Amino acid sequence: MNLDKISRRRVLQGTAALTLGTALPLKRAAAADTTVGFIYVGSRDDYGYNQAHAAGAAALKSMPGVKIVEEEKVPETEAVEKTMESMINLDGATLLFPTSFGYYNPHMIKMALKYPKLRFEHCGGLWTDKDPKNAGSYFGYIDEAQHVSGIVAGRMTKSGKLGFVAAKPIPQVLRNINSFTMGARLANPKVTLQVIFTGDWSMPVKEAESTNSLIDQGVDVITCHVDGPKTVVENAARRGAMVCGYHVNQAVLAPQAYLSGAEWNWEVLYPRFVKMFTSGETIPNFYRGGLKEEIVKVSPYGPMVSAEARKHADEVKAALTAGTYVIFKGPLVDNKGKTVIAGGVSRGQTDPELEKMDYLVEGVIGATS
Protein backbone atom coordinates (compact mmCIF):
# COMPACT_ATOMS: atom_id res chain seq x y z
CA MET A 1 0.00 0.00 0.00
CA ASN A 2 1.18 3.44 -0.69
CA LEU A 3 0.96 5.55 2.38
CA ASP A 4 1.32 8.88 0.63
CA LYS A 5 -1.72 8.29 -1.53
CA ILE A 6 -3.86 7.22 1.39
CA SER A 7 -2.97 10.17 3.49
CA ARG A 8 -3.56 12.61 0.64
CA ARG A 9 -7.00 11.17 0.03
CA ARG A 10 -7.73 11.22 3.76
CA VAL A 11 -6.64 14.82 4.02
CA LEU A 12 -8.90 15.81 1.13
CA GLN A 13 -11.83 13.97 2.67
CA GLY A 14 -11.12 15.53 6.02
CA THR A 15 -10.98 19.01 4.56
CA ALA A 16 -14.26 18.47 2.76
CA ALA A 17 -15.92 17.26 5.94
CA LEU A 18 -14.55 20.23 7.83
CA THR A 19 -15.83 22.72 5.28
CA LEU A 20 -19.23 21.09 5.26
CA GLY A 21 -19.39 21.13 9.02
CA THR A 22 -18.43 24.78 9.23
CA ALA A 23 -20.97 25.69 6.60
CA LEU A 24 -23.81 24.00 8.50
CA PRO A 25 -26.07 26.64 9.94
CA LEU A 26 -25.85 27.00 13.67
CA LYS A 27 -28.53 24.83 15.18
CA ARG A 28 -30.10 26.90 17.90
CA ALA A 29 -31.87 25.40 20.86
CA ALA A 30 -35.64 25.07 20.53
CA ALA A 31 -37.27 28.42 20.02
CA ALA A 32 -38.28 30.21 23.19
CA ASP A 33 -39.00 33.82 23.97
CA THR A 34 -36.44 33.99 26.73
CA THR A 35 -33.51 31.72 27.32
CA VAL A 36 -32.03 31.88 30.81
CA GLY A 37 -28.59 30.45 31.54
CA PHE A 38 -27.54 29.08 34.91
CA ILE A 39 -23.92 28.34 35.76
CA TYR A 40 -22.88 26.38 38.84
CA VAL A 41 -19.42 26.02 40.31
CA GLY A 42 -20.09 22.51 41.64
CA SER A 43 -22.39 19.63 40.99
CA ARG A 44 -26.12 20.32 40.64
CA ASP A 45 -26.98 17.54 43.09
CA ASP A 46 -24.53 18.39 45.87
CA TYR A 47 -27.25 18.72 48.53
CA GLY A 48 -25.86 22.21 49.01
CA TYR A 49 -25.09 25.57 47.45
CA ASN A 50 -25.42 24.49 43.84
CA GLN A 51 -28.47 22.32 44.37
CA ALA A 52 -30.21 25.30 45.96
CA HIS A 53 -29.62 27.32 42.78
CA ALA A 54 -30.60 24.42 40.54
CA ALA A 55 -33.87 24.12 42.48
CA GLY A 56 -34.45 27.81 41.75
CA ALA A 57 -33.73 27.21 38.07
CA ALA A 58 -36.09 24.23 38.04
CA ALA A 59 -38.85 26.48 39.37
CA LEU A 60 -38.65 28.44 36.08
CA LYS A 61 -39.38 25.42 33.92
CA SER A 62 -43.11 25.78 34.45
CA MET A 63 -43.08 29.38 33.19
CA PRO A 64 -44.37 29.67 29.60
CA GLY A 65 -41.93 30.97 27.01
CA VAL A 66 -38.90 30.49 29.26
CA LYS A 67 -36.16 28.04 28.43
CA ILE A 68 -33.42 27.07 30.87
CA VAL A 69 -29.88 26.09 29.95
CA GLU A 70 -27.59 24.89 32.71
CA GLU A 71 -23.94 24.05 33.11
CA GLU A 72 -22.32 22.62 36.22
CA LYS A 73 -18.77 22.40 37.57
CA VAL A 74 -17.55 25.52 35.81
CA PRO A 75 -14.37 26.83 37.48
CA GLU A 76 -13.96 30.49 38.43
CA THR A 77 -11.53 31.14 35.58
CA GLU A 78 -11.83 32.17 31.94
CA ALA A 79 -13.88 29.00 31.59
CA VAL A 80 -16.89 30.76 33.08
CA GLU A 81 -16.53 33.66 30.63
CA LYS A 82 -16.52 31.18 27.79
CA THR A 83 -19.50 29.34 29.24
CA MET A 84 -21.45 32.60 29.40
CA GLU A 85 -20.47 33.46 25.83
CA SER A 86 -21.31 29.98 24.66
CA MET A 87 -24.77 30.27 26.20
CA ILE A 88 -25.17 33.65 24.54
CA ASN A 89 -23.80 32.69 21.11
CA LEU A 90 -24.96 29.11 20.77
CA ASP A 91 -28.11 29.03 22.91
CA GLY A 92 -29.32 32.60 22.55
CA ALA A 93 -29.43 33.25 26.31
CA THR A 94 -30.36 36.82 27.22
CA LEU A 95 -30.44 36.52 31.00
CA LEU A 96 -27.59 34.80 32.80
CA PHE A 97 -27.18 33.63 36.37
CA PRO A 98 -23.52 32.85 37.11
CA THR A 99 -24.18 31.74 40.67
CA SER A 100 -20.77 31.35 42.28
CA PHE A 101 -19.22 34.13 44.34
CA GLY A 102 -15.92 34.10 42.42
CA TYR A 103 -17.62 34.50 39.02
CA TYR A 104 -18.26 38.19 39.62
CA ASN A 105 -14.97 40.00 39.27
CA PRO A 106 -13.43 40.02 36.70
CA HIS A 107 -15.43 37.41 34.74
CA MET A 108 -19.05 38.53 34.87
CA ILE A 109 -18.10 42.21 34.80
CA LYS A 110 -16.11 41.58 31.61
CA MET A 111 -19.06 39.85 29.95
CA ALA A 112 -21.51 42.55 31.08
CA LEU A 113 -19.31 45.17 29.41
CA LYS A 114 -18.95 43.07 26.28
CA TYR A 115 -22.70 42.35 25.96
CA PRO A 116 -24.36 45.56 27.19
CA LYS A 117 -27.82 44.53 25.93
CA LEU A 118 -27.97 41.33 27.95
CA ARG A 119 -28.65 40.94 31.64
CA PHE A 120 -26.29 39.32 34.15
CA GLU A 121 -27.38 38.39 37.67
CA HIS A 122 -24.83 37.22 40.19
CA CYS A 123 -25.36 35.67 43.61
CA GLY A 124 -23.29 37.35 46.31
CA GLY A 125 -24.47 40.93 46.71
CA LEU A 126 -21.34 42.48 45.24
CA TRP A 127 -22.75 45.11 42.86
CA THR A 128 -21.65 48.70 43.43
CA ASP A 129 -22.58 51.75 41.36
CA LYS A 130 -19.17 51.59 39.64
CA ASP A 131 -20.20 48.32 37.98
CA PRO A 132 -22.11 47.99 34.67
CA LYS A 133 -25.82 48.80 34.83
CA ASN A 134 -26.79 45.56 33.06
CA ALA A 135 -25.15 43.59 35.86
CA GLY A 136 -26.71 42.85 39.21
CA SER A 137 -25.92 40.96 42.37
CA TYR A 138 -28.38 39.58 44.88
CA PHE A 139 -28.02 37.83 48.18
CA GLY A 140 -30.01 36.67 51.18
CA TYR A 141 -29.63 37.30 54.89
CA ILE A 142 -29.43 33.62 55.64
CA ASP A 143 -28.13 34.35 59.14
CA GLU A 144 -31.78 34.96 60.07
CA ALA A 145 -32.59 31.36 59.27
CA GLN A 146 -29.39 30.28 61.05
CA HIS A 147 -30.55 32.14 64.15
CA VAL A 148 -33.85 30.24 64.22
CA SER A 149 -32.05 26.98 63.54
CA GLY A 150 -29.66 27.82 66.42
CA ILE A 151 -32.58 28.21 68.80
CA VAL A 152 -33.74 24.69 67.94
CA ALA A 153 -30.19 23.38 68.43
CA GLY A 154 -29.84 25.16 71.77
CA ARG A 155 -33.11 23.69 73.01
CA MET A 156 -32.34 20.17 71.81
CA THR A 157 -28.72 19.72 72.90
CA LYS A 158 -28.18 17.53 75.93
CA SER A 159 -24.45 18.01 76.32
CA GLY A 160 -24.64 21.79 75.83
CA LYS A 161 -21.93 21.50 73.16
CA LEU A 162 -22.63 22.39 69.57
CA GLY A 163 -20.30 21.96 66.61
CA PHE A 164 -19.85 23.99 63.42
CA VAL A 165 -17.86 22.81 60.40
CA ALA A 166 -16.97 25.95 58.44
CA ALA A 167 -15.05 26.59 55.23
CA LYS A 168 -13.17 29.86 55.67
CA PRO A 169 -13.16 32.58 58.33
CA ILE A 170 -14.68 35.20 56.02
CA PRO A 171 -17.42 37.67 57.08
CA GLN A 172 -20.29 35.73 55.52
CA VAL A 173 -19.34 32.52 57.34
CA LEU A 174 -18.56 34.25 60.64
CA ARG A 175 -21.94 35.92 60.53
CA ASN A 176 -23.65 32.54 60.21
CA ILE A 177 -21.60 31.03 63.04
CA ASN A 178 -22.32 33.99 65.31
CA SER A 179 -26.00 34.14 64.48
CA PHE A 180 -26.42 30.40 65.06
CA THR A 181 -24.54 30.59 68.37
CA MET A 182 -26.55 33.60 69.55
CA GLY A 183 -29.76 31.74 68.74
CA ALA A 184 -28.60 28.70 70.67
CA ARG A 185 -27.57 30.80 73.66
CA LEU A 186 -30.91 32.56 73.57
CA ALA A 187 -32.47 29.16 74.15
CA ASN A 188 -29.85 28.02 76.65
CA PRO A 189 -27.21 30.54 77.87
CA LYS A 190 -24.83 27.75 78.92
CA VAL A 191 -24.37 26.42 75.40
CA THR A 192 -20.95 26.62 73.72
CA LEU A 193 -20.16 26.07 70.06
CA GLN A 194 -16.90 24.63 68.79
CA VAL A 195 -15.98 25.75 65.29
CA ILE A 196 -13.55 24.04 62.91
CA PHE A 197 -12.42 25.73 59.69
CA THR A 198 -11.54 23.31 56.91
CA GLY A 199 -9.88 25.97 54.75
CA ASP A 200 -11.90 25.52 51.58
CA TRP A 201 -15.42 25.22 50.23
CA SER A 202 -15.39 21.61 49.22
CA MET A 203 -13.14 19.37 51.32
CA PRO A 204 -15.15 16.20 51.99
CA VAL A 205 -12.36 14.35 53.79
CA LYS A 206 -11.61 17.22 56.16
CA GLU A 207 -15.32 17.80 56.68
CA ALA A 208 -15.79 14.18 57.74
CA GLU A 209 -12.74 14.32 60.02
CA SER A 210 -13.95 17.57 61.60
CA THR A 211 -17.38 16.09 62.20
CA ASN A 212 -15.90 13.03 63.88
CA SER A 213 -13.55 15.07 65.99
CA LEU A 214 -16.38 17.34 67.16
CA ILE A 215 -18.48 14.34 68.16
CA ASP A 216 -15.49 12.82 69.96
CA GLN A 217 -15.37 16.00 72.04
CA GLY A 218 -18.94 15.51 73.21
CA VAL A 219 -20.75 17.69 70.67
CA ASP A 220 -24.29 16.44 70.05
CA VAL A 221 -25.65 18.94 67.50
CA ILE A 222 -23.66 19.72 64.36
CA THR A 223 -24.15 22.22 61.61
CA CYS A 224 -21.94 23.58 58.87
CA HIS A 225 -21.21 26.17 56.23
CA VAL A 226 -19.51 24.41 53.34
CA ASP A 227 -20.62 24.04 49.71
CA GLY A 228 -21.96 20.52 50.08
CA PRO A 229 -23.16 19.64 53.61
CA LYS A 230 -23.89 16.02 52.64
CA THR A 231 -20.70 14.61 54.20
CA VAL A 232 -21.20 16.44 57.48
CA VAL A 233 -24.90 15.57 57.75
CA GLU A 234 -24.46 11.89 56.94
CA ASN A 235 -21.45 11.44 59.18
CA ALA A 236 -23.04 13.20 62.12
CA ALA A 237 -26.22 11.14 61.79
CA ARG A 238 -24.23 7.93 61.54
CA ARG A 239 -22.44 8.80 64.77
CA GLY A 240 -25.74 9.45 66.52
CA ALA A 241 -25.49 13.26 66.68
CA MET A 242 -28.29 15.64 65.68
CA VAL A 243 -27.79 17.99 62.73
CA CYS A 244 -28.94 21.37 61.47
CA GLY A 245 -28.70 21.74 57.71
CA TYR A 246 -27.52 24.48 55.40
CA HIS A 247 -28.24 25.64 51.82
CA VAL A 248 -31.03 23.12 51.15
CA ASN A 249 -33.14 20.70 53.16
CA GLN A 250 -30.98 17.66 53.96
CA ALA A 251 -33.67 15.83 55.95
CA VAL A 252 -33.73 13.02 53.36
CA LEU A 253 -30.10 12.24 54.18
CA ALA A 254 -30.73 11.92 57.92
CA PRO A 255 -34.47 11.80 58.66
CA GLN A 256 -33.94 10.74 62.29
CA ALA A 257 -31.27 13.34 63.07
CA TYR A 258 -32.29 16.43 61.12
CA LEU A 259 -33.57 19.12 63.50
CA SER A 260 -33.91 22.12 61.21
CA GLY A 261 -31.77 24.16 58.89
CA ALA A 262 -31.13 27.40 57.06
CA GLU A 263 -32.12 27.21 53.40
CA TRP A 264 -32.03 29.46 50.37
CA ASN A 265 -35.36 30.13 48.76
CA TRP A 266 -34.25 30.73 45.17
CA GLU A 267 -37.44 28.96 44.01
CA VAL A 268 -39.24 32.17 44.94
CA LEU A 269 -36.66 34.72 43.86
CA TYR A 270 -35.79 33.40 40.39
CA PRO A 271 -39.35 33.35 39.02
CA ARG A 272 -39.71 36.86 40.47
CA PHE A 273 -36.60 38.06 38.59
CA VAL A 274 -37.55 36.34 35.35
CA LYS A 275 -41.03 37.83 35.50
CA MET A 276 -39.50 41.30 35.89
CA PHE A 277 -37.18 40.58 32.98
CA THR A 278 -39.82 39.27 30.57
CA SER A 279 -42.23 42.09 31.38
CA GLY A 280 -39.55 44.66 30.59
CA GLU A 281 -39.16 45.82 34.16
CA THR A 282 -35.61 46.42 35.42
CA ILE A 283 -34.32 43.97 37.98
CA PRO A 284 -32.74 45.99 40.81
CA ASN A 285 -28.95 45.89 40.53
CA PHE A 286 -28.56 45.28 44.21
CA TYR A 287 -31.17 43.02 45.76
CA ARG A 288 -31.14 41.60 49.24
CA GLY A 289 -33.57 40.18 51.72
CA GLY A 290 -34.17 37.66 54.43
CA LEU A 291 -37.11 35.72 55.80
CA LYS A 292 -39.44 38.66 55.26
CA GLU A 293 -38.62 38.89 51.54
CA GLU A 294 -38.73 35.09 51.24
CA ILE A 295 -35.17 34.83 49.99
CA VAL A 296 -34.27 32.44 52.78
CA LYS A 297 -36.33 29.95 54.73
CA VAL A 298 -36.09 27.60 57.70
CA SER A 299 -36.33 23.85 57.10
CA PRO A 300 -39.44 22.19 58.58
CA TYR A 301 -38.60 20.88 62.06
CA GLY A 302 -37.70 17.23 62.37
CA PRO A 303 -40.08 14.86 64.22
CA MET A 304 -37.83 14.76 67.30
CA VAL A 305 -37.93 18.53 67.89
CA SER A 306 -39.74 19.24 71.17
CA ALA A 307 -42.84 21.41 71.42
CA GLU A 308 -41.06 24.08 73.47
CA ALA A 309 -38.23 24.28 70.94
CA ARG A 310 -40.75 24.66 68.10
CA LYS A 311 -42.59 27.35 70.04
CA HIS A 312 -39.47 29.38 70.82
CA ALA A 313 -38.14 29.10 67.28
CA ASP A 314 -41.49 30.00 65.74
CA GLU A 315 -41.76 33.11 67.91
CA VAL A 316 -38.40 34.44 66.77
CA LYS A 317 -39.07 33.43 63.18
CA ALA A 318 -42.34 35.38 63.26
CA ALA A 319 -40.59 38.44 64.68
CA LEU A 320 -37.84 38.23 62.04
CA THR A 321 -40.44 37.83 59.30
CA ALA A 322 -42.29 40.86 60.62
CA GLY A 323 -39.03 42.80 60.65
CA THR A 324 -39.24 43.69 64.34
CA TYR A 325 -36.30 41.60 65.54
CA VAL A 326 -32.61 42.52 65.38
CA ILE A 327 -30.03 39.76 65.83
CA PHE A 328 -26.88 41.83 66.16
CA LYS A 329 -27.42 44.40 68.87
CA GLY A 330 -25.24 45.69 71.68
CA PRO A 331 -23.86 45.05 74.08
CA LEU A 332 -22.19 42.21 72.16
CA VAL A 333 -18.91 40.73 73.34
CA ASP A 334 -16.62 38.55 71.23
CA ASN A 335 -14.99 35.36 72.50
CA LYS A 336 -11.87 37.27 73.54
CA GLY A 337 -13.84 39.54 75.84
CA LYS A 338 -13.79 42.58 73.57
CA THR A 339 -16.99 44.57 73.05
CA VAL A 340 -17.74 44.49 69.33
CA ILE A 341 -21.14 46.22 69.39
CA ALA A 342 -21.58 48.79 72.14
CA GLY A 343 -24.65 48.84 74.37
CA GLY A 344 -27.57 50.64 72.81
CA VAL A 345 -26.30 50.12 69.25
CA SER A 346 -28.55 48.01 67.08
CA ARG A 347 -27.18 46.71 63.79
CA GLY A 348 -30.05 45.80 61.51
CA GLN A 349 -29.65 43.40 58.61
CA THR A 350 -28.72 46.02 56.04
CA ASP A 351 -25.99 47.57 58.22
CA PRO A 352 -22.76 47.55 56.16
CA GLU A 353 -20.71 47.08 59.35
CA LEU A 354 -21.99 43.51 59.51
CA GLU A 355 -20.45 42.84 56.07
CA LYS A 356 -17.01 43.31 57.61
CA MET A 357 -17.50 40.90 60.51
CA ASP A 358 -14.16 39.56 61.71
CA TYR A 359 -14.97 38.20 65.17
CA LEU A 360 -16.57 35.21 66.83
CA VAL A 361 -19.06 36.01 69.56
CA GLU A 362 -18.91 34.90 73.18
CA GLY A 363 -19.72 31.22 73.47
CA VAL A 364 -17.84 30.21 70.31
CA ILE A 365 -14.72 28.15 70.89
CA GLY A 366 -12.32 28.79 68.04
CA ALA A 367 -10.32 31.55 66.37
CA THR A 368 -10.64 33.42 63.08
CA SER A 369 -6.96 33.01 62.25
Partner 1 sequence: MKADVDAPLTPSGLGRLLRRPRFGGKMGGAAEFVVIPALALAASLVLFGIFVALFGKNPLDLYFYMYQGAFGTWFSWQNTLTRAAPLILTALCTALPAQLGMVIIGGEGALLIGALCSTAAALALQEAPSLFVDLAMAGAGMVGGGLWIMLSGALRQYRGVNETISSLLLVYIALAILNYLVEGPMRDPTSLNKPSTRDIGAANMIGSIPGTDVHWGFVFGIIAAVLSYILIYHTVFGFAARVAGGNIRAAKVVGLSVGKLILVICFLAGAAAGLAGMMEVAAVQGRTNANLAAGYGFAGILVAFLARQNPLAVIPVSILLGGIGASGGLLQRRLGLPDASVLVLQGVIFVMVLASDSLYGRLPFLQRKAP
Residues that bind partner 1 (CB under 8 A): 1, 3, 7, 21-22, 24, 26-27, 29, 43-44, 69-79, 82-83, 85-87, 89-91, 101-102, 106, 124, 168, 170-172, 199-200, 355-356, 369
Q: Rounded to the nearest whole angstrom, what is the least distance from the CB of residue 344 to partner 1 in the complex?
A: 26
Residues 6+ apart with CB under 8 A from 149: 180, 183, 223, 244, 245, 259, 260, 261, 262, 298, 299, 313
Distance of alpha carbon 341 from alpha carbon 329, whole angstroms? 7
Per-position DSSP letters for 98-124, written without gaps between them:
E-SGGGIIIIIHHHHHH-TTSEEEEET
Residue 262 CA to chain centroid, in angstroms?
10
Instruction: Give Cβ neighbours of residue 210 (< 8 Å, ≥ 6 apart).
Output: 165, 196, 198, 232
Residue 215: CB minimum distance to partner 1, A: 27
- 285 CB-contact burial (10 Å; exposed 0-12 / middle 13-18 / buried 19+): middle
Closest CA to 38 of 89, 78, 73: 73
Whether the Cβ atoms of residue 246 and residue 229 lie closer than 8 Å to each other = yes
Which is nearer to partner 1, 166 or 236 (by Cβ)?
166
Cβ 249 to partner 1 shortest distance, Å: 22
Q: How far is CA 346 from CA 109, 341, 353, 361, in A?
A: 34, 8, 11, 15
CB 322 → partner 1: shortest distance, Å? 28
CB of 336 to partner 1, least distance (A): 19
Nearer to partner 1, 74 or 361 (CB): 74
The distance of closest approach from Cβ of residue 149 to partner 1 in the complex, given in angstroms and rounded to an integer, is: 21
CB of 274 vs partner 1, minimal distance in Å: 18
Integer Cα distance of 273 and 183 in angstroms: 32
- What span, in angstroms and rounded, lies between the C-alpha atoms of 79 and 138? 22
